[in-house]
Amino acid sequence: YTEALLSAVPIPDPDIVQKRIRLEGEMPSVMDPPTGCRFSTRCPRYLGNLCDEQEPPNQDAGDGHIIKCHIPIGELAQVEPIFNKKEAAE
pLDDT in tens, 52-61: 999 999 999 8
Predicted TM-score of the model (pTM): 0.65
Residues 6+ apart with CB under 8 A from 27: 41, 42
Q: How confident is the model at residue 11 (pLDDT cuts 50, 70, 90)?
A: confident
So what's the pLDDT on residue 48? 95
Domain spans in the chain, listed from the N-terminal domain onward: 2-80
Average pLDDT over residues 57-78: 87
Residues 6+ apart with CB under 8 A from 54: 36, 37, 70
The Cα 24–Cα 80 span in angstroms is 19
Give tens-digit pLDDT for 15-54. 777 777 777 888 888 888 889 999 898 888 899 999 999 9
Pair 23, 7: CB distance under 8 Å: no
So what's the pLDDT on residue 29? 82
State how beta strands 16-18 and 58-62 pair: unpaired
Amino acid at 19: K
